[in-house]
Amino acid sequence: MSQMPQLSACPSCEEPLESGDRFCGACGYDLSAVPARPEDNPTITMNGSVPVQGAPAGAYPEPPSAPPAGVAWPAPGPDGPGAPGAVHLPTDLPGTDSGGSALPPNTPPPPAAPPAPAAGVRFDRPPQPDGYAAPADVYRTQPDEYLLQAPDPRVSAESAAPAAGAGGKVCVACRAGRVDDDGYCENCGHAQPRERDHMEQESGPVAAVSDRGLRHHRNEDAFAIGTTALPDGSPASVAIVCDGVSSATRPDDASAAAAKAASETLLAALPRGAHPQQAMHDAIVAASRAVNSLAEEPATAREHAPHQNAPACTIVGAVVTSGLLIVGWVGDSRAYWVPVDRSAPPARLTEDDSWAAQMVAAGLMSEAEAYADERAHAITGWLGADAYELEPHTAAFKPDRPGLVVVCTDGLWNYAEAAEEMARVVPLDAAAHPLHSARVLVGHALDGGGHDNVTVALVPFPAVPQGAGSA
């Protein structure tokens, strides 16, 4: 039996070995399968040739002890061998062949063979027959591996025309195929972006932006904004933001239905003279009914799973008039007050219906401890058919200075939880440029990780007459 090679560590897992081990005690590697180390014979001749492994000693010529005759090496400088000599280029010295003879003058170097592609390397250009060369201008404009022809825009436009003419959407990827009812291109199969993946709206001085975020496969947030006039002709601004409960059935439909119902109720009640705080309460009740009705639809029954609840969402809204600020909410979506004068303190206007808020209110945990807990975002209030009890929260404020109301889902306030943190990320000109500022806030959440859907609406206080807005 041949003697096994002595190894200090397992070749597979690097586990230290002991003398006589036949298998690795950590990974079970068969040490008898390790090939014996080849005989070390690193002798290399001076002419660059590499000896064959295992050749007997003395089979190769000894290197010459002196340079070949006729080679004029540069002499030391006048200051002795220790002084720096003159600079010589490699072409200043005559070369020699493998036998030590001088090379013929002006002998061009042999052409180098093209390197063979490494195993596993894929080229997007098929191999060309011998003697074929691509036009020189191609190599000047594209890497050799990507000699791909760009699509002709005229062909794309011509092929897209029938799809658009037939009333269907055109694929954003190939611009040729029609998008089917499932949201995929019939030509290239590319999934199309959903309409709700990113939404923006500006209504007079009010603006809102919603984004799917970086982790969720769909946007389950929704918003609705608008402006109206009170019976005395003074302006009023409305903003509603809803966040679908991901563990429920059809959360995206729930948030959309709630936002629509609440905004329509407010915009209808305020011009008739309803008090803004009562109008907000009624709007939340209307939103709850809209979400409850989804549980009775056939679509909900088809999507319902044993581990899912009925359609549900949170809601937060704001009504701003010339001298009054009203907020209403159910769940953990929030409203913040950020004064135009940043030397004045900002404030959070809502209290979460959540496990963390209950712990803080009961004095069992500090706010930092509660929101660091993994149960922090478990909500205790929501809109939906299986809600324990509907308890709309409303509050009225009379700010003594101009400011901005930030109405948002937890996809934003997770990255600016305290009022001071929110005030720092709101642009200084947000009251004058609400749409741009809403984009900045959504970008702040995405830069922070975008772990959730992000929605924010900005409402300047006092209410601005219709026609004013972003410049």
Q: By three-state DSSP, how is residue 322 classified?
A: coil
Which positions ≥6 away from 422 have C-beta within 8 Å?
Answer: 336, 338, 346, 348, 406, 413, 416
Phi, psi of 279 (to 5 degrees): -65, -35
Same-domain check for residues 186 and 298: no
Same-domain check for residues 263 and 332: yes
Bridging pattern class, strands 403-408 and 334-339: antiparallel
Q: What is the pLDDT of residues 281-315, one digit of tens each?
A: 999 999 999 999 998 877 666 565 555 689 999 99
Same-domain check for residues 329 and 263: yes
Q: How far apart are the first and last CA of the chain?
A: 90
Flag whether 35 is in a domain: no
Flag whether 31 is in a domain: no
Same-domain check for residues 341 and 321: yes
Q: Which two tokens stand for residue 382?
A: 């929501």
Same-domain check for residues 188 and 310: no
Flag whether 422 is in a domain: yes
What pLDDT does 157 receive?
Answer: 44
Any idea which residue has 């008090």 for tokens?
275
CATH of the domain at 446: 3.60.40.10
Report the number of distinct structural domains present in the chain: 2
Give the span between the Cα atoms of 373 and 368, in whole angstroms.
9
What pLDDT does 193 receive?
Answer: 77
Q: Which two tokens stand for residue 234?
A: 């003074």
* 8 Å CB contact between 227 and 205: yes
Same-domain check for residues 253 and 344: yes
Same-domain check for residues 253 and 391: yes
* 8 Å CB contact between 357 and 331: no
What pLDDT does 50 receive?
Answer: 47
Name which of 206, 378, 209, 384 is nearest 287 in CA terms.
384
Q: Which two tokens stand for residue 406?
A: 């930030």
Return the minimum-mean-pLDDT range out of 154-168, 331-345, 360-374. Answer: 154-168
Return the minimum-mean-pLDDT range out of 33-37, 270-274, 356-360. Answer: 33-37
Same-domain check for residues 176 and 314: no
Any idea which residue has 């937060």 for tokens?
316
Name which of 381, 181, 375 is nearest 291 in CA terms.
381
How far from 177 is each of 173, 180, 182, 184, 292, CA to CA, in Å? 9, 9, 14, 9, 39
String of DSSP letters for 88-99 = --GGGS--B-TT
What pLDDT does 200 receive?
Answer: 96
Same-domain check for residues 228 and 317: yes
Fill in the DSSP letter of residue 84: -
Look up the pTM and report it: 0.62
How far from 386 is each of 117, 250, 256, 312, 330, CA to CA, in Å? 63, 14, 18, 8, 14
Q: What is the pLDDT of residues 219-231, one digit of tens each?
A: 999 999 999 999 9
What is the pLDDT of the chain when averaged over all its residues?
78
Flag whether 246 is in a domain: yes
Please state the separation of Cα 471 from the chain's center in Å. 30
Same-domain check for residues 323 and 353: yes
Q: What is the pLDDT of residues 200-217, one digit of tens each?
A: 999 999 999 999 999 888
Same-domain check for residues 186 and 245: no
Flag whether 389 is in a domain: yes
For 123, counting Cβ atoms within 10 Å of its Cβ (0-12 exposed, 13-18 middle, 19+ buried), the class is: exposed
Instruction: Tell me which of 119 and 171 has the higher pLDDT.
Output: 171
* 8 Å CB contact between 218 and 194: yes
Q: Which amino acid is at 60?
A: Y
Give the span between the Cα atoms of 248 and 242, in whole angstroms.
14
What pLDDT does 411 receive?
Answer: 96
Q: How confident is the model at residue 49 (pLDDT cuts 50, 70, 90)?
A: very low
What pLDDT does 421 receive?
Answer: 97
Any idea which residue has 């600079």 for tokens?
87
Flag whether 362 is in a domain: yes
Flag whether 216 is in a domain: yes
Q: What is the pLDDT of residues 8-21, one digit of tens each?
A: 777 777 777 777 77
Q: Which domain holds residue 176?
A: 168-194
| Helix or strand holding residue 239 (H, E) | strand 235-244
Name which of 286, 243, 245, 244 is nearest 263 in CA terms.
286
Same-domain check for residues 173 and 228: no
What pLDDT does 183 receive?
Answer: 79
Flag whether 471 is in a domain: no
